[in-house]
Structure 1
Amino acid sequence: MNEAVCSVGVDVSKRKLDLALLLNNKLKTKVVENSQNGYSQLHQWLLDRGAVMESTHICLEATGPYSESVALALVELGWTVSVVNPARVKGFAQSELSRNKTDTLDAALLARFCAAMHPAPWTPPPAEYRELRAWVDRLQALKGIQQQETNRQEAYDASGQSALVASVQVHLDWLQQQISQLEHEIDDHINSHPRLKHDATLMLSIPGIGDTTVAKVLAYIGDVRRFDSAKALAAFIGVTPRQKQSGSSVRGRTMISRTGHSALRHNPTLKAFGERLKSNGMAPKAVVGAAMRKLVHLIYGIVKSGVPFDAHFGAKNLDLQDGI
């Protein structure tokens, strides 16, 4: 990079982007819309203020689809971008004894974090993974509404409001139709992309793992081979012991908690592992947590090796992996 290094913080919200540019110890700020037009304004503002692409580093927090859209646009324009864990930024703020919080101050904090910590550049997931995540996000949203309506229907039924029970049922029927259609679309999407299909087939060879979990893993984690180890993958998902979830979590416990229960029942390797832990006096919830971690290690090993699940191999080799 050139000698004059420029650091930029972008605080992302639904409707706007708060910008902070740190160059030669001078801070400049601006607000633009969170839109394609806003991204163009951001790009031009940086250039007008003396930012050089080859020596500029932009940081923003991981906040789901909003931050990814901004990051993707900036990378496509040629900027170096890091999408950082909010917990890291919070820790940096605490080290600065920074307590005040506004969007502009957050952007300035991100610029200082970027200058001091030099986080790794962000690489956009391939288009097929981004599209899959959009499908899975929509599916999860509808399932959440379905659960809310089911709870509402039960309450109406308990109070004898039969007309409202029938009204909710109409909505539930429609939701189930939409959910089934989305599940079909997700399966078609995975099967139409060789890389997704290959990894899905490997994961589905693991007893206790079904289509829903596979779709979530592919959507929210992407290619597990990008992690240096199974332990690193488990930490990213949030199933390592004593791990606190942050804003950058991929909903790991939600993603595989039910799968952990299922795998304990149906996966011979994990079932034997769980029984051994129970016999050693481990509490039931802790057993499920340990099974979830084992399952993540199993997914990583199978996808990384390209070899489908084998009960004997799994039982023999899982305990050799670090962090279990």
Structure 2
Amino acid sequence: MDSTQTVTYIGVDISKETLEVCLPSGKRRFPFTPSGMTSLRKAFPKEGIPHVICEATGGYEKALLEDLWEHGIAVSLVNASRVRHFAKSEGLKAKSDPIDAHILARFGEEKKPRRCDPPTPVRKKMIELLDRRAQLSDMITQEKNRTQKAPASLRKSYLRVLKTLEQELNTTDRELEKCVGSDETLKRNDELFCSVKGIGSVTSWSILAYLGDITQFGRNQLVALVGVAPFDQDSGTHKGRRRIEGGRAKVRRALYMAAQSAAAHNPVIKPYVARLKERQKPHKVALTAAMRKIIIHLHSIAKNQELSLA
């Protein structure tokens, strides 16, 4: 890439059926279809290097990311909360207004976010397996609830379905173990993460798959990416409660489960959570603080490549 070329940031607001795009020539709308994405790429300015800025939209962004990666176009998947705070600080939007393509393009120009590179084949397979695992886990919970209320005449049917789902879950876990074992770096980091009391395989796999190499991020970047960085609710003289926003929901879900376990068994996290509760912090606030402490600790042991002592 010619370093003298200008980067042109292009904001793309993704919905289920359309792509709202902010180009230097103005706003355009494209259908969110293969032909629509082709038309989008053809609309990029010929001068300069295009860099697309978009936010996570519950999975809809996946097709666009893969299309852009396939054609060698830089793309950043940005944290919605960071963009919203940027917009508020610039006076572009009220806090309840939606984030649009223009704001995403402005965010790119001002913040120049890190480009989002495609996952390795192993990580891609892990992501697919973890997504399927989450589906199976939810189905098992639902089927267990139904089994409890099942009439006696149908109980065996419910149990057969439950057994099949549990077998599929076990098979998926074995496939994930194979993925981790096939890559020395993943294998080593999995061992490091699981050395932390409260961190199980699913949490470790989720971090490795959805975040990749966490040492590429600074600590503050990492907690914001995961969605456990507190944002203030202050306005004028009013001091609102701090809260968390955005982030990688799948990682946060796994970390939440880990924090619950660590709050009961980890020699560092357990007293830490207890102290927060003594200060009248709500249970979820204490667990969120524990999640933040855990991900920072994992960042440290991954960076130093040393087993955890806690």
C-alpha deviation, 1:68, in angstroms? 3.5
Residues 1-324 of structure 1 mapped to structure 2, 5 A cutoff: 6-22=8-24, 26-35=25-34, 37-46=35-44, 50-52=45-47, 54-91=48-85, 95-97=91-93, 106-115=100-109, 117-154=111-148, 156-157=149-150, 161-229=151-219, 231-241=220-230, 242-246=242-246, 248-274=247-273, 277=275, 280-281=278-279, 285=283, 286-311=285-310
Determine the C-alpha separation between the residues in 2 that align with 1:100 and 1:205: 42
Deviation of 1:228 after TM superposition, in Å, equals 1.5
TM-score in terms of structure 1 length: 0.77
Extract unaligned runs of 5+ from structure 1: 312-324
Cα RMSD, aligned residues only: 3.2
- Residue 175 of structure 1 and its aligned partner are, at CA, apart by 0.9
**Matched residues in 2 for 1:80 and 1:34: separation?**
20
Structure 2 SS opposite 1:268: coil
- C-alpha deviation, 1:274, in angstroms: 4.6
Identity %: 30
1:109–1:261: structure 2 CA closer, same or farther, 3 Å change rule? closer
1:222-243 deviations in whole A, cap 9, x for unaligned? Answer: 21101222x4423322334434
Distance (Å, rounded) in 2 between the aligned partners of 1:122 and 1:287? 31
Amino acid at match of 1:21: L
Structure 2 counterpart of 1:321: none
Mapped partners of 1:56, 1:135: distance in 2 = 32
Aligned amino acid, residue 14 of structure 2:
V
Q: Match of 2:26, SS?
A: strand
The answer (yes or no) to whether the contact 2:56–2:77 under 8 Å persists in 1 is yes
Check whether the contact 2:84–2:95 (CA below 8 A) recurs between aligned residues: no
Instruction: Determine if contact 2:196/2:308 at 8 Å carries over to the other structure.
Output: yes
Secondary structure, in 3 states, of the residue corresponding to 1:140? helix
Which aligned segments of 4 or more residues in structure 1 are displaced greater than 6 angstroms?
1-5, 98-102
User: Scaled by the length of structure 2, what TM-score is found?
Assistant: 0.80
1:21, distance to aligned residue in structure 2 (A) = 1.8
Structure 2: state its 5+ residue gaps.
231-241
Q: CA 1:117/1:226 → structure 2, altered by over 3 Å: closer, same or farther?
A: closer
Which segment is superposed worse, 292-301 or 111-120? 111-120
- Contact preservation (8 Å) 1:202, 1:302: yes
Give the conservation status (yes or no) of the 8 Å contact 1:235–1:243.
no
- Mapped partners of 1:13, 1:42: distance in 2: 15
Tell me which amino acid in the other structure corresponds to 1:122: C
Indicate if the aligned counterparts of 1:17 and 1:32 stay in contact, CA closer than 8 A: yes
Counterpart CA distance in 2 for 1:240 and 1:92 is 15
Any idea what the Cα deviations from partners look like across 1:108-149, whole Å, max 9, x if unmatched? 443454445544433333332232111111100111122122
In 2 relative to 1, CA 204–297 (structure 1 residues): closer, same or farther, beyond 3 Å?
same
Shift in Å, 1:199: 0.5
The residue type paired with residue 236 of structure 1 is: L
Aligned positions, number: 294
Q: Which residue of 2 aligns with 1:315?
A: none
Say which SS state the counterpart of residue 96 (structure 1) adopts: coil
Residues 174 and 301 of structure 1: is their aligned pair in 2 closer, same or farther, counting only changes over 3 Å? same
Distance 1:185 1:109, change over 3 A: same
Say if 2:79 and 2:225, in contact at 8 Å, map to a contact too.
Answer: no
Larger Cα-atom Rg:
1
